Structure 1
Amino acid sequence: MALNFFDQFDIHSTLGLPLIIPALMFPLILWISTNRLVKNRLSTLQSGFINLLTKQLVLSVNISGHKWASLFTALMLLLISLNTLGLLPYTFTPTTQLSMNMALATPTWLMTIMVGLRNQPTISLGHLLPEGTPTPLIPMLIVIETVSLLIRPIALGVRLTANLTAGHLLMQLISSATLATASSFTTASSMALVTLILLSFLEMAVALIQAYVFTLLLTLYLQENI
């Protein structure tokens, strides 16, 4: 019975047609415009939102790292789209899969390391050994710092996967309780429904925050290597 809670992570289909296809067409309504060269309220709102995100991301990076702003902004918008996609009916959230998140975290984390090794190899390698370390502790600290460096992409992927999966499972549990008590316990079912609605707004906030945290940590990693 408990395994059925994970059915929400499957792609549902009707008459052999994956229902994710019409669900993916729904957000396109937000992007329909008769003339992309003419500013309207929607395009102005989108531009302001993107500019706000970009400014927040580059606050922790010095001037030399601002050239990476477009990359991090695009990554954050991609994560926001993928995270919020699963809140639509009959859809699938790709970022609940660890393989998907690791495919995003590993190359971007490796990019920050390669930038540091190319621009300032001495300083980048110096992060593995804090200044003033006693000689007997040098081998141990190098191993510890290397492990902490290599575990960063794993932490990025696992954090994103765990937060989104936990939220979706909790929504599944509460929705199942709402349906189970709808006929016999009206009061309990109503309270569960209200909780489910509030949790849906919370899950939307979590989807946005986790995309921001994922990208912000990458900008901090980049700051250490430029």
Structure 2
Amino acid sequence: MMMNLFSSFDPSTGLNLSLNWLSSMIGLIIIPPLFWLIPSRLSMLWLVIILTLHKEFKVILNKNSQGSTLIFVSLFMFILMNNFLGLFPYIFTSTSHMILTLSMALPLWLSFMIYGWSNHTMHMLIHLVPQGTPGILMPFMVCIETISNIIRPGTLAIRLSANMIAGHLLLMLLSNTGPSMTLLLLNILLLIQILLLSLEFAVSIIQSYVFVILGALYSSETN
């Protein structure tokens, strides 16, 4: 029984077992058999998406080492899979919780910072003061750039979780008004729900892309 509107986003069961990571493993169990069968249209579509992302990340990262884009392509597929799973009924949306999104964003950002400050210290210091900044404003710019750099993992995590939970909340609020509506209004509500679900489908793709693109841009700044 729901005690409030946000109870549907509670990832715990009666056994006090968190469903955050459990629901994330559903897709990982389904996907592997696709790569062991004769190439189908679905597997070819996955291959086209992976190669397209690889080319785009290669331009952003600007690295000569092969395989540097693998972590971002894998992260994109993982987030996209969990976003899609959340659109199905009775499947928990793990990416709507900060504990999951922050556990992806924080290690990614921290590894970039450790690598950048260890190997390119002067380059990282230069980034704290934008080119053309007056001398009197340099201390303030260093403080602003430092704060904006520190909050990056938080903004990544909040952006993903907030966008995923907002659409689900809107769908739930509209569906709760259904029993009190007339037949005509109910048909209009059903049409609106279908349009919102289509929008959520697009948001699932866009937010996965935004998360990994920003991560790749943060990585490119450390070189």
How far residue 119 of structure 1 moved from its aligned partner, in angstroms, is: 3.2
> In the alignment, which residue of structure 2 is the partner of 1:127?
127
Name the SS for the 1:63 alignment partner. Answer: coil
* Cα distance between partner residues in 2 of 1:124 and 1:22: 38
* Cα distance between partner residues in 1 of 2:130 and 2:8: 47
Aligned with 1:204 (options 190, 195, 201): 201
Name the SS for the 2:90 alignment partner. Answer: coil
> In the alignment, which residue of structure 1 is the partner of 2:79?
79
After superposition, the Cα gap between the structure-2 partners of 1:136 and 1:18, relative to the gap in structure 1 and judged at 3 Å, is closer
TM-score for both structures, normalised by structure 2:
0.84
Identity %: 36
Check whether the contact 1:82–1:94 (CA below 8 A) recurs between aligned residues.
yes
After superposition, the Cα gap between the structure-2 partners of 1:168 and 1:136, relative to the gap in structure 1 and judged at 3 Å, is same
* Cα distance between partner residues in 2 of 1:204 and 1:217: 20
One-letter code aligned to 1:223: S
* Cα distance between partner residues in 1 of 2:130 and 2:112: 20
Structure 1 gaps of 5+ residues are: none
Check whether the contact 1:12–1:19 (CA below 8 A) recurs between aligned residues.
yes
Give the superposed CA RMSD. Answer: 3.2
Check whether the contact 2:109–2:215 (CA below 8 A) recurs between aligned residues.
yes
> In the alignment, which residue of structure 2 is the partner of 1:7?
7
How far residue 32 of structure 1 moved from its aligned partner, in angstroms, is: 4.1
Deviation track 1:184-215 (CA, whole Å, cap 9, x = no partner) reads x1010110011101111110110111010000
* Cα distance between partner residues in 2 of 1:200 and 1:22: 20
Check whether the contact 1:58–1:66 (CA below 8 A) recurs between aligned residues.
no
> In the alignment, which residue of structure 2 is the partner of 1:88?
88
> In the alignment, which residue of structure 1 is the partner of 2:163?
163
Check whether the contact 2:23–2:91 (CA below 8 A) recurs between aligned residues.
no
After superposition, the Cα gap between the structure-2 partners of 1:121 and 1:171, relative to the gap in structure 1 and judged at 3 Å, is same
Structure 2 gaps of 5+ residues are: none
* Cα distance between partner residues in 1 of 2:24 and 2:218: 36
After superposition, the Cα gap between the structure-2 partners of 1:218 and 1:186, relative to the gap in structure 1 and judged at 3 Å, is same
One-letter code aligned to 1:130: P
After superposition, the Cα gap between the structure-2 partners of 1:71 and 1:103, relative to the gap in structure 1 and judged at 3 Å, is same
After superposition, the Cα gap between the structure-2 partners of 1:84 and 1:179, relative to the gap in structure 1 and judged at 3 Å, is farther
How far residue 168 of structure 1 moved from its aligned partner, in angstroms, is: 0.6
| Residue-pair matches, total | 221
Deviation track 1:3-27 (CA, whole Å, cap 9, x = no partner) reads 632232135879xx99998997689
After superposition, the Cα gap between the structure-2 partners of 1:141 and 1:58, relative to the gap in structure 1 and judged at 3 Å, is same
